[in-house]
Amino acid sequence: MADFSRLPGPNADFWDWQLLAACRGVDSSLFFHPEGERGAARTARESSAKEVCMRCPVRAECAAHALTVREPYGVWGGLTEDEREELLGRARRGMAKAAGSA
């Protein structure tokens, strides 16, 4: 589940980027997998979602949001659930390594 405590407050300046998103108006099922979707079907859907993300002017903001709140589902900012988890894991390992060498 997403960590909502990490979300910014209700200031619209934090959310305005969403108004410019290429995915606005696109069926959300492109970005979120149905129960049990695996293999080629999942890969194809994620690739299609990433195509939308690659032409998005706010892709970086979207990816940063998903990483900050640890969004558990869907393609956000061109990153799948697994890709975000890998990035967060690398960051955790890097911080642990840095703390261990201090």
Instruction: Provide the annotated binding site.
Output: 23, 53, 56, 62
52 contacts 26 by C-beta, under 8 angstroms: yes
DSSP tag of 34? P
Binding site feature residues for [4Fe-4S] cluster: 23, 53, 56, 62
Query: Which residues lie below 8 Å from residue 81, measured CB to CB, with a gap of 6+?
Result: 72, 73, 74, 75
